[in-house]
Amino acid sequence: MSATFLHLTVSRNVAGSSAPRIGVLALQGDVREHSGVLRELGCEVVEIRLPAHLEGIDGLVIPGGESSVMDKLSRIFGLAEPLRDAIAQGLPVLGTCAGLIMVANHIEDAIAGQENFGGLDVTVRRNAFGAQVDSFETAVSIEGVTGPALQVAFIRAPEVIAVGPGARVIATLGDGRVVGVAGGNIIGVAFHPEITGEDRVHRMFLDVVAQRALQQPTTVDA
Protein backbone atom coordinates (compact mmCIF):
# COMPACT_ATOMS: atom_id res chain seq x y z
CA MET A 1 0.00 0.00 0.00
CA SER A 2 1.44 3.38 -0.99
CA ALA A 3 2.49 6.09 1.44
CA THR A 4 0.06 8.56 -0.12
CA PHE A 5 -2.90 6.24 0.41
CA LEU A 6 -1.88 5.78 4.04
CA HIS A 7 -1.60 9.55 4.43
CA LEU A 8 -5.11 10.00 3.02
CA THR A 9 -6.52 7.42 5.42
CA VAL A 10 -4.90 9.10 8.41
CA SER A 11 -6.01 12.56 7.29
CA ARG A 12 -9.63 11.45 6.95
CA ASN A 13 -9.50 9.73 10.33
CA VAL A 14 -8.68 13.10 11.87
CA ALA A 15 -11.67 14.56 10.02
CA GLY A 16 -13.93 11.86 11.44
CA SER A 17 -14.03 9.44 8.51
CA SER A 18 -12.15 6.15 8.52
CA ALA A 19 -11.50 5.66 4.80
CA PRO A 20 -11.53 7.30 1.37
CA ARG A 21 -15.10 7.35 0.07
CA ILE A 22 -15.13 5.89 -3.44
CA GLY A 23 -18.16 5.79 -5.69
CA VAL A 24 -18.77 2.96 -8.16
CA LEU A 25 -21.14 3.80 -11.00
CA ALA A 26 -23.82 1.16 -10.44
CA LEU A 27 -26.11 1.51 -13.43
CA GLN A 28 -24.84 -1.63 -15.16
CA GLY A 29 -21.72 -3.79 -15.36
CA ASP A 30 -19.33 -5.47 -12.93
CA VAL A 31 -20.11 -3.26 -9.94
CA ARG A 32 -19.75 -6.00 -7.33
CA GLU A 33 -16.24 -6.98 -8.40
CA HIS A 34 -14.90 -3.42 -8.23
CA SER A 35 -16.65 -2.80 -4.92
CA GLY A 36 -15.04 -5.90 -3.47
CA VAL A 37 -11.53 -4.84 -4.47
CA LEU A 38 -12.04 -1.34 -3.07
CA ARG A 39 -13.36 -2.65 0.24
CA GLU A 40 -10.38 -4.99 0.52
CA LEU A 41 -8.17 -1.90 0.14
CA GLY A 42 -9.97 -0.21 3.02
CA CYS A 43 -12.30 2.11 1.12
CA GLU A 44 -15.85 3.08 1.94
CA VAL A 45 -17.81 2.21 -1.22
CA VAL A 46 -20.87 4.11 -2.44
CA GLU A 47 -22.94 2.72 -5.33
CA ILE A 48 -23.80 5.64 -7.59
CA ARG A 49 -27.26 5.54 -9.21
CA LEU A 50 -28.59 9.07 -8.60
CA PRO A 51 -27.00 12.55 -8.57
CA ALA A 52 -27.38 12.78 -4.79
CA HIS A 53 -25.09 9.76 -4.39
CA LEU A 54 -22.16 11.82 -5.73
CA GLU A 55 -22.15 14.00 -2.62
CA GLY A 56 -18.95 13.64 -0.63
CA ILE A 57 -17.17 11.02 -2.74
CA ASP A 58 -13.39 11.25 -3.12
CA GLY A 59 -13.18 9.34 -6.38
CA LEU A 60 -15.24 7.34 -8.88
CA VAL A 61 -14.84 3.98 -10.59
CA ILE A 62 -16.72 3.41 -13.85
CA PRO A 63 -16.82 -0.37 -14.39
CA GLY A 64 -16.86 -2.56 -17.43
CA GLY A 65 -20.18 -3.43 -19.01
CA GLU A 66 -21.98 -1.94 -22.00
CA SER A 67 -21.10 1.69 -22.65
CA SER A 68 -24.23 2.47 -24.67
CA VAL A 69 -26.45 1.16 -21.85
CA MET A 70 -24.51 3.17 -19.26
CA ASP A 71 -24.95 6.26 -21.40
CA LYS A 72 -28.72 5.81 -21.75
CA LEU A 73 -29.27 5.02 -18.08
CA SER A 74 -27.09 7.90 -16.89
CA ARG A 75 -29.28 10.29 -18.88
CA ILE A 76 -32.52 8.68 -17.70
CA PHE A 77 -31.46 9.01 -14.04
CA GLY A 78 -30.10 12.54 -14.46
CA LEU A 79 -26.49 11.50 -13.77
CA ALA A 80 -24.84 12.40 -17.06
CA GLU A 81 -24.44 16.15 -16.57
CA PRO A 82 -23.48 15.99 -12.86
CA LEU A 83 -20.84 13.38 -13.72
CA ARG A 84 -19.44 15.47 -16.57
CA ASP A 85 -19.23 18.46 -14.25
CA ALA A 86 -17.58 16.49 -11.45
CA ILE A 87 -14.98 14.99 -13.79
CA ALA A 88 -14.26 18.41 -15.34
CA GLN A 89 -13.77 19.81 -11.84
CA GLY A 90 -11.11 17.21 -11.06
CA LEU A 91 -12.88 14.24 -9.48
CA PRO A 92 -10.43 11.31 -9.74
CA VAL A 93 -11.83 8.56 -12.00
CA LEU A 94 -10.82 5.02 -12.89
CA GLY A 95 -12.53 3.70 -16.01
CA THR A 96 -12.16 0.03 -16.96
CA CYS A 97 -13.25 -1.39 -20.34
CA ALA A 98 -16.62 0.32 -20.94
CA GLY A 99 -15.55 2.84 -18.30
CA LEU A 100 -12.63 3.82 -20.54
CA ILE A 101 -15.10 4.46 -23.35
CA MET A 102 -17.22 6.64 -21.06
CA VAL A 103 -14.32 8.91 -20.08
CA ALA A 104 -12.78 9.18 -23.56
CA ASN A 105 -13.31 12.49 -25.34
CA HIS A 106 -13.99 10.71 -28.64
CA ILE A 107 -15.50 7.32 -29.56
CA GLU A 108 -15.06 5.60 -32.90
CA ASP A 109 -17.87 3.26 -33.98
CA ALA A 110 -20.28 4.62 -31.38
CA ILE A 111 -23.92 3.68 -31.86
CA ALA A 112 -26.25 6.38 -33.15
CA GLY A 113 -26.78 9.08 -30.54
CA GLN A 114 -24.31 7.63 -28.07
CA GLU A 115 -22.83 10.12 -25.59
CA ASN A 116 -20.12 9.88 -22.97
CA PHE A 117 -18.75 11.79 -19.97
CA GLY A 118 -15.40 12.70 -21.49
CA GLY A 119 -12.42 14.21 -19.73
CA LEU A 120 -9.62 12.01 -21.09
CA ASP A 121 -7.85 13.27 -24.22
CA VAL A 122 -8.05 10.05 -26.23
CA THR A 123 -10.06 8.39 -28.98
CA VAL A 124 -11.22 4.81 -28.42
CA ARG A 125 -12.70 2.17 -30.71
CA ARG A 126 -15.51 0.08 -29.22
CA ASN A 127 -15.28 -3.73 -29.25
CA ALA A 128 -11.87 -3.58 -30.93
CA PHE A 129 -10.89 -6.97 -29.51
CA GLY A 130 -13.90 -8.83 -30.88
CA ALA A 131 -17.03 -10.40 -29.45
CA GLN A 132 -17.65 -12.10 -26.10
CA VAL A 133 -16.34 -15.41 -27.44
CA ASP A 134 -13.01 -13.73 -28.22
CA SER A 135 -12.37 -12.90 -24.55
CA PHE A 136 -8.94 -13.75 -23.18
CA GLU A 137 -6.56 -13.23 -20.28
CA THR A 138 -3.01 -11.96 -20.64
CA ALA A 139 -0.19 -10.28 -18.75
CA VAL A 140 0.12 -6.49 -19.02
CA SER A 141 2.77 -4.18 -17.59
CA ILE A 142 1.63 -0.71 -16.52
CA GLU A 143 3.82 2.35 -16.14
CA GLY A 144 4.17 3.20 -12.47
CA VAL A 145 3.08 -0.23 -11.21
CA THR A 146 5.90 -2.25 -9.67
CA GLY A 147 6.25 -6.00 -9.48
CA PRO A 148 5.42 -8.65 -12.08
CA ALA A 149 3.09 -7.96 -14.98
CA LEU A 150 -0.61 -7.86 -14.13
CA GLN A 151 -2.78 -10.79 -15.19
CA VAL A 152 -5.97 -9.20 -16.59
CA ALA A 153 -9.01 -10.07 -18.69
CA PHE A 154 -10.07 -8.58 -22.04
CA ILE A 155 -13.82 -8.91 -22.67
CA ARG A 156 -15.22 -7.12 -25.74
CA ALA A 157 -12.52 -4.59 -24.95
CA PRO A 158 -12.00 -1.18 -26.56
CA GLU A 159 -8.68 -0.01 -27.98
CA VAL A 160 -7.15 3.45 -27.67
CA ILE A 161 -6.45 4.53 -31.24
CA ALA A 162 -5.33 8.13 -30.65
CA VAL A 163 -3.78 9.91 -27.67
CA GLY A 164 -3.86 13.69 -27.47
CA PRO A 165 -1.41 15.99 -25.65
CA GLY A 166 -3.53 15.88 -22.48
CA ALA A 167 -2.99 12.14 -21.93
CA ARG A 168 -0.17 9.63 -21.91
CA VAL A 169 0.13 5.92 -22.64
CA ILE A 170 0.68 3.72 -19.58
CA ALA A 171 0.07 0.23 -21.01
CA THR A 172 0.43 -1.52 -24.36
CA LEU A 173 0.19 -5.09 -25.60
CA GLY A 174 3.06 -6.87 -27.30
CA ASP A 175 1.72 -5.90 -30.73
CA GLY A 176 1.77 -2.21 -29.78
CA ARG A 177 -1.95 -1.72 -29.22
CA VAL A 178 -2.62 0.87 -26.50
CA VAL A 179 -4.72 -0.50 -23.64
CA GLY A 180 -3.97 1.91 -20.80
CA VAL A 181 -3.89 5.70 -20.62
CA ALA A 182 -3.83 8.42 -17.98
CA GLY A 183 -4.34 12.15 -17.98
CA GLY A 184 -4.87 14.59 -15.14
CA ASN A 185 -7.39 13.07 -12.73
CA ILE A 186 -8.32 10.07 -14.92
CA ILE A 187 -6.93 6.57 -15.45
CA GLY A 188 -8.47 4.46 -18.20
CA VAL A 189 -7.72 0.83 -19.06
CA ALA A 190 -9.24 -1.38 -21.73
CA PHE A 191 -9.17 -4.50 -19.57
CA HIS A 192 -10.66 -5.91 -16.36
CA PRO A 193 -8.18 -6.13 -13.46
CA GLU A 194 -10.95 -6.75 -10.92
CA ILE A 195 -12.09 -10.03 -12.49
CA THR A 196 -8.69 -11.68 -12.04
CA GLY A 197 -8.27 -10.41 -8.47
CA GLU A 198 -5.59 -7.86 -9.39
CA ASP A 199 -5.68 -4.76 -7.17
CA ARG A 200 -2.65 -2.73 -8.31
CA VAL A 201 -4.62 -0.61 -10.80
CA HIS A 202 -6.99 0.33 -7.99
CA ARG A 203 -4.01 1.16 -5.76
CA MET A 204 -2.65 3.45 -8.47
CA PHE A 205 -6.07 5.11 -8.69
CA LEU A 206 -6.15 5.58 -4.91
CA ASP A 207 -2.81 7.38 -5.17
CA VAL A 208 -4.51 9.88 -7.51
CA VAL A 209 -7.34 10.22 -4.98
CA ALA A 210 -4.80 10.81 -2.20
CA GLN A 211 -2.86 13.40 -4.17
CA ARG A 212 -6.01 15.37 -4.92
CA ALA A 213 -7.11 15.20 -1.29
CA LEU A 214 -3.78 16.69 -0.19
CA GLN A 215 -4.36 19.61 -2.58
CA GLN A 216 -7.81 20.42 -1.23
CA PRO A 217 -8.21 23.15 1.43
CA THR A 218 -9.06 21.80 4.89
CA THR A 219 -12.05 23.29 6.69
CA VAL A 220 -11.93 23.34 10.49
CA ASP A 221 -15.01 24.19 12.53
CA ALA A 222 -14.53 27.07 14.98
**Any catalytic annotation for residue 44?**
no
Active-site residue, selected from the candidate residues 159, 192, 198, 202: 192
Residue 153 β-bridge partners: 137, 192
By CB neighbour count within 10 A (0-12 exposed, 13-18 middle, 19+ buried), where does 42 fall? middle
Active-site residue, selected from the candidate residues 33, 159, 194, 198: 194
**Any catalytic annotation for residue 194?**
yes
Active-site residue, selected from the candidate residues 33, 34, 43, 97: 97
Looking at the chain, how many residues does it have? Answer: 222
The closest of 162, 26, 164, 52 to 107, measured between CA atoms, is 162
**Any catalytic annotation for residue 43?**
no
The closest of 61, 81, 59 to 193, measured between CA atoms, is 61
E strand or H helix that includes residue 171: strand 168-172
> Residue 40 contacts by C-beta under 8 Å, 6 or more apart in sequence?
199
* Residues with active-site annotation: 97, 192, 194
